[in-house]
Structure 1
């Protein structure tokens, strides 16, 4: 049984760790801004410094949530947003992640998309998890695709973001189990088995849903999001 003093000590250690993480994170943010000055907007590598700065901001937001004294996750801030603008901001990072692991990344985004009703941080967390899993479970060299399309209704109320890979697929008996907390289809892969459970929960909280289909030719995770 954990004693109150042990819990206090653990909480103090966690607070100290979170505080110490801020120092290198601030340094990284400063270096990202310096990199952007060294690589002007017309330079084809300018996006690297910009993406690093955006990732630092994402980490800072996560740290703020961890530091909440009551330990209760902050409620989602659902709002009307442009899905196209968000994805065009994040895709360079996803492309770099996939290519670093030896995969080819492709994005198909219609030029005109209606606004969606989402929490941008929650959406980013879902897509991060899906891209990470696609890269992790696909043998190199593989194909990773992000595809956006309106659901084929006469009056669609949802937009669908699909993350597909060319991996070996998911065993049929595991298609629903993979969304259970701590379930890992392949224990040899790094991770805790929480990403998909968290992603489905976040999708539900935003009024959407997360489903999967799979075959021996690969898997596709379909994230449906409500229109604003």
Structure 2
């Protein structure tokens, strides 16, 4: 797809080029005719001057002109002059006998093109009366001039005109480029403004632009407003789903637990316990689905983010997760390797990210067997970025499964509890913060998840 600049230059340059070529062609035609008429008049004038130099002495015609003076007649010394003078009987009086005869009768002066002695000539033939002592008659005079002077003058004029047109064209293109540059400045300003924004910033564009661009800006702002409304509706829908699903699932769990305590039938109690376990799993899955919906990176409003201390967010997330970790016979260790690990973040979502990483290690580090080791959480700075690491000493993940860990509902160990959404939520939150997610699992050495945030 060509740019607007290229199109404008094409539509300015192409017509100008065509006009320039048309001007050259027209100038060549008009100039050729004009120069031909001018030189033809000079040739006819030369022939008439010859007429005045012919006189009769004792019945014989004589010419009062030397051969060398004929070159001063019409060519201004730039070309060659040939002439021929004959009487009515065809007798050669003077000049070059080999000159070609005129193509038609000489009722009036006749101009024609011919060649002589390897020269291209323009000739004029005319007749005029002459009176001898005994009788009168007609004299035929032909004067021919080589065409070099005419062609040289035309070429010089066309060269001058071509240079002027070329200079004018370059000036026009330069002015057009400047005008296009100035004219497209509002579009470039809008483009820079949009590029500087986060891909999730849907605030309206505030800029003073020409009327022709204001329609585009209004359309973009309208689109952003509709997208913001769509995001708001989606978030509202998530809240409604959360309220409508969590309440009945909690009631099912409570009713199953109460019925199990009151029942004396072992089979019924086992069934009720299973119903409670399934309801608890469903409640956890619903909660994870709602968290995933809220964490979708394209729905996150980055304008609500602020500078936060990642280490402090890790402490809060560890404090919220520590009870569940201890209940499973595990330990949780947090290390702040460097201070001042500040990032631009949504604090609530980053805590979700850390909690899901801890929960993922807690539930899946041991594979089919419960994990009884330590979960390590650390924060450090690294070359203009801040790294969060969560690792364990479990069995690790095979290489063929690592690439799929962030897929929704995928679990490397299907027999372990969970929804298969934890790392998918982590991936969405990381993308919303412009962070990168790396998974590393050497054979038998556990899984290390590294999230690299841009430093604030």
TM-score (norm 2): 0.34
- For the 8 Å contact 2:310–2:379, the answer to whether it is kept is no
Measured in 1, the distance between the counterparts of 2:386 and 2:363 equals: 26
1:227 aligns with 2:455: yes
Q: 2:320 aligns with which of 69, 72, 93?
A: 93
Measured in 1, the distance between the counterparts of 2:376 and 2:439 equals: 14
- The count of residues paired between Structure 1 and Structure 2 equals 170
Measured in 2, the distance between the counterparts of 1:173 and 1:19 equals: 35
1:17 aligns with 2:248: no
What is the aligned partner in structure 2 of residue 146 from structure 1?
377
Q: Deviations over 1:75-118 (max 9, x none)?
A: 34322111222222232223322211111211111362232111
More helix by share: 2
Measured in 2, the distance between the counterparts of 1:223 and 1:16 equals: 32
Measured in 1, the distance between the counterparts of 2:426 and 2:432 equals: 10
Higher relative contact order (CA 8 A, sep 6+): 1
What is the aligned partner in structure 1 of residue 180 from structure 2?
none
Measured in 1, the distance between the counterparts of 2:246 and 2:445 equals: 45
Q: Give structure 2 stretches of 5+ with no counterpart.
A: 1-237, 252-286
Alpha-carbon offset, residue 214 of structure 1: 0.3
- For the 8 Å contact 1:118–1:225, the answer to whether it is kept is no
State the SS of the aligned residue for 1:201: helix
Q: 2:301 aligns with which of 75, 91, 99?
A: 75
Measured in 1, the distance between the counterparts of 2:331 and 2:242 equals: 40
Report the CA distance shift for 1:103/1:78 in structure 2 as closer, same or farther (over 3 A).
Answer: same
- For the 8 Å contact 2:433–2:453, the answer to whether it is kept is yes
State the SS of the aligned residue for 1:179: coil
What is the aligned partner in structure 1 of residue 333 from structure 2?
106
Q: Deviations over 1:9-58 (max 9, x none)?
A: xx9x947626958xx9xxxxxxxxxxxxxxxxxxxxxxxxxxxxxxxxxx
Measured in 2, the distance between the counterparts of 1:222 and 1:148 equals: 10
1:199 aligns with 2:447: no
State the SS of the aligned residue for 2:337: coil
Measured in 2, the distance between the counterparts of 1:226 and 1:183 equals: 28
Alpha-carbon offset, residue 119 of structure 1: 1.3
State the SS of the aligned residue for 1:17: helix
Q: Deviations over 1:121-169 (max 9, x none)?
A: 2211111111011000133321110011112xxxx22111100001100
Report the CA distance shift for 1:74/1:111 in structure 2 as closer, same or farther (over 3 A).
Answer: closer
Larger Rg over CA atoms: 2
State the SS of the aligned residue for 2:447: strand
State the SS of the aligned residue for 1:132: helix
What is the aligned partner in structure 2 of residue 51 from structure 1?
none
State the SS of the aligned residue for 2:380: strand
Alpha-carbon offset, residue 198 of structure 1: 2.3
- For the 8 Å contact 2:387–2:450, the answer to whether it is kept is yes
- For the 8 Å contact 2:342–2:386, the answer to whether it is kept is no
Where do residues 208-227 of structure 1 align in structure 2 (5 Å cutoff)? 208-215=435-442, 216-227=444-455
Cα RMSD over matched residues? 3.0
Report the CA distance shift for 1:74/1:116 in structure 2 as closer, same or farther (over 3 A).
Answer: closer
What is the aligned partner in structure 2 of residue 115 from structure 1?
342
Q: Deviations over 1:174-197 (max 9, x none)?
A: 111111222221111222322212
Which structure 1 residue ranges, 4+ long, deviate > 6 Å from structure 2? none
